[in-house]
């Protein structure tokens, strides 16, 4: 059997456009004499469609699109069968009213052959809001070249049943155990699994375990592309019966590949990507797709001469091209000459357009206007936040006028403890590095400037040798420069300590005693906990944040603002 794997990049809710992608994949599959084409979970809709599933017009359009694909098969690929992901209405009026299903399309018509059993409702997932859980595993009998193939079908989470590997699992049935009894020849898993920095290896381990349990090859097909804050890296693969990977699809790229069951090949050597490479690739994809799918052709950011804005500028240039990126320098009386020079040099290295708008005069006007109300010029935190808000207002005005996507440059450490200003440096349509702790920002920038990154930089269209960020920026002590001789360390613990505590509290949900056992002081932990809680109202008003960790601030972070 020749199986075509279509690793597709859908636009959520664009059933017509997604149908065109599926038909284009049909043509490629048919040209290579494939018997079966498979597409990712909910491939007709894009994942996650969320409340678009409540739109009856889209449900009706779904049936028209299925007919369109069948018409293409009849005319152009009569020997090809296709599996697509659909939202299938239930036969009754009970809630939820949909199944997350796989439909088999052939020239003779179509039928639903599998429904998802394990519905994730944790972190960014809320499938139980929309879908009803199925009770049985799907099975497809497909005749090719005088052989009848018994093919097991699972949808994304249905494969994730290995508590010993995962550390936990959803309560519910074990679809792999059900398929063990059916003695299948092949397992297909159609997925829409978002990227996190450790997810790819975990997927491979889970699939390998299924292959060994079922004693058959496993095909893991994943969606690719950025959808709002979620990034889908693709990274689809096929294993043999022993769980060894025999075919790999590219990460962060749309593609159609053929797996031939008759073609015996040696297990290929896997290219081991460094963590920084995976993170950078994912962020570039996430920004590129967010901009293009939201209708932006260009992006804007404030360049401070600091490491955060420098990293965002590099990602933006890789995502959209340097000619589509604009940087604005907005020096105040407290901006050092070094920061202005560093920002200018960075822009030259990246070949991006810049404009300089000093904010001294605007600060004076605000001071005079507010003196009427305050009885004196603004001081302290009020004055510092005012600078950030002046800059934020200028950036939003330019973005509105030029139809740029404004990029927020704050990192996860700042968002966690509230070391950021609402309606100031938090302004933007997308937070690019809001899921990277400050220490990792430094680590990633160090890697980008090293020779280890040259190959990826060339692939991404960046200058392929020498420094991009620059040692002056990488070695500079972090500072918001909102006051004379101001440094982050004046207000916050050392980032190496702060980030370890934050990661334990946010991603690992560690008990404070665990941190104290590791040597962190009780007072330090309480201070960080207090800052984390107090900043919740700010994070609720932050732009969408590209998710690359197991726990990002965004749709998967649901902490009340008013709480103990």
The domain limits of the chain are 2-261, 278-488
Of 26, 97, 156, 414, the catalytic one is 156
> 235: pLDDT confidence band, cut at 50, 70 and 90?
very high
116 is an active site residue: yes
Whether pTM exceeds 0.85: yes
Instruction: Give me the sheet containing 109-115, strands edge to edge.
Output: 109-115, 98-106, 81-89, 36-38, 2-7, 255-260
Q: Characterize 203-226 residue by residue with b for buried, 16 or more Cβ atoms within 10 angstroms of its Cβ, and e for exposed.
A: bbebbbbbbebbebbbbbbbbbbb
* 278-488 is a CATH 3.40.50.620 domain: yes
Taking all residues of the chain, what is their mean pLDDT, rounded to a whole number?
A: 95
Q: Decide if 2-261 and 278-488 have a common fold.
A: no
Task: Convert the pLDDT of each residue in 499-508 to its tens digit.
Answer: 999 999 999 9
303-336 per-position pLDDT tens digit: 999 999 999 999 999 999 999 999 999 999 988 8
Tokens of 137: 């595993």
Examine the residue annotation and report whether 41 is marked as an active-site residue of this protein.
yes
Confidence of residue 402 (pLDDT cuts 50, 70, 90): very high
Instruction: Please give the C-alpha separations between residue 389 and each of 55, 339, 392, 495, 537, in angstroms, as whole numbers.
Output: 39, 19, 5, 25, 17
Confidence (pLDDT) at 269? 62
Considering the candidates 2, 116, 438, 503, report the single residue annotated as catalytic: 116
Annotated active-site residue 384? The verdict is no
Closest by CA position to 186, among listed 144, 143, 216, 148 = 216
Q: How far is CA 541 from the centre of its chain?
A: 20
Identify the band that residue 270 occupies on the pLDDT scale cut at 50, 70 and 90. Answer: low
pLDDT in tens, 449-473: 999 999 999 999 999 999 999 999 9
Which superfamily does 2-261 belong to? Carbon-nitrogen hydrolase (3.60.110.10)
pLDDT reported for residue 416: 97
């Amino acid at each position: 059997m020749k199986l075509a794997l279509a690793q597709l990049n859908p636009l959520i809710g664009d059933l017509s456009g997604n149908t065109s992608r599926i038909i284009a994949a049909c043509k490629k599959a048919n040209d290579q004499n494939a018997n079966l084409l498979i597409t990712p979970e909910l491939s007709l809709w894009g994942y996650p469609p969320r409340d678009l599933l409540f739109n009856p017009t889209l449900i009706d359009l779904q049936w028209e699109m299925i007919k369109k694909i069948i018409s293409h098969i009849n005319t152009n690929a009569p020997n090809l069968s296709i599996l697509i992901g659909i939202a299938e209405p239930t036969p009754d009026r009970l809630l939820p009213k949909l199944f997350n299903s796989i439909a088999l399309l052939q020239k003779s018509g179509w039928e639903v052959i599998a429904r998802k059993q394990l519905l994730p409702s944790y972190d960014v997932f809320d499938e139980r809001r929309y879908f009803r859980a199925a009770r049985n595993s799907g099975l497809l009998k497909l005749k090719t070249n005088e052989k009848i193939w018994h093919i097991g079908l699972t949808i994304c989470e249905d494969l994730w049943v290995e508590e010993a590997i995962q550390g936990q699992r959803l309560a519910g049935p074990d679809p792999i155990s059900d398929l063990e009894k059916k003695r299948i020849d092949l397992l297909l898993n159609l997925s829409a699994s978002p990227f996190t920095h450790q997810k790819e290896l975990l997927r491979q381990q889970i699939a390998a375990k299924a292959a060994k349990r079922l004693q058959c090859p496993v095909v893991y097909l994943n969606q690719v592309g950025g959808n709002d804050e979620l990034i889908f890296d693709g990274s689809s693969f096929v294993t043999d019966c022993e769980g060894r990977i025999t075919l790999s699809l590219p990460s962060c790229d749309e593609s159609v590949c053929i797996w031939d069951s008759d073609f015996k090949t040696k297990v290929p050597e896997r290219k081991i990507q460094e963590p920084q490479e995976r993170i950078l690739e994912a962020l570039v994809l996430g920004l590129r797709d967010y901009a293009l799918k939201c209708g932006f052709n260009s992006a804007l950011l404030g360049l401070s001469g600091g490491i955060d804005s420098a990293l965002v500028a590099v990602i933006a240039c890789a995502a959209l091209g340097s000619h589509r990126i604009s940087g604005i320098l907005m020096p105040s009386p407290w901006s050092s000459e070094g920061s202005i020079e560093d920002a200018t040099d960075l822009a030259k290295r990246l070949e991006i357009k810049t404009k300089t708008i000093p904010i001294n005069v605007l600060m004076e006007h605000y001071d005079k206007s507010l003196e009427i109300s305050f009885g004196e010029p603004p001081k302290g935190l009020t004055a510092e936040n005012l600078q950030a808000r002046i800059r934020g207002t200028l950036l939003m005005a330019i973005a509105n006028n030029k139809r740029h996507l404004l990029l927020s440059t704050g990192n996860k450490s700042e968002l966690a403890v509230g070391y950021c200003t609402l309606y100031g440096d938090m302004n933007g349509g997308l937070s690019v590095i809001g899921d990277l702790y400050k220490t990792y920002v430094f680590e990633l920038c160090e890697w980008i400037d090293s020779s280890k990154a040259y190959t990826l930089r060339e692939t991404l269209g960046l200058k392929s040798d020498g420094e991009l960020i620059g040692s002056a920026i990488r070695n500079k002590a972090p500072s918001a420069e909102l006051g004379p001789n101001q440094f982050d360390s004046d207000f916050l613990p050392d980032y190496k300590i702060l980030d370890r505590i934050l990661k334990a509290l946010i991603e690992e949900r560690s008990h404070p005693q665990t941190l104290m056992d590791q040597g962190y002081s009780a007072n330090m932990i309480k201070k960080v906990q207090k800052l984390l809680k107090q900043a919740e109202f700010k994070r609720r008003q932050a732009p969408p944040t590209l998710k690359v960790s197991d726990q990002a601030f965004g749709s998967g972070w649901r902490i009340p603002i008013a709480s103990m």
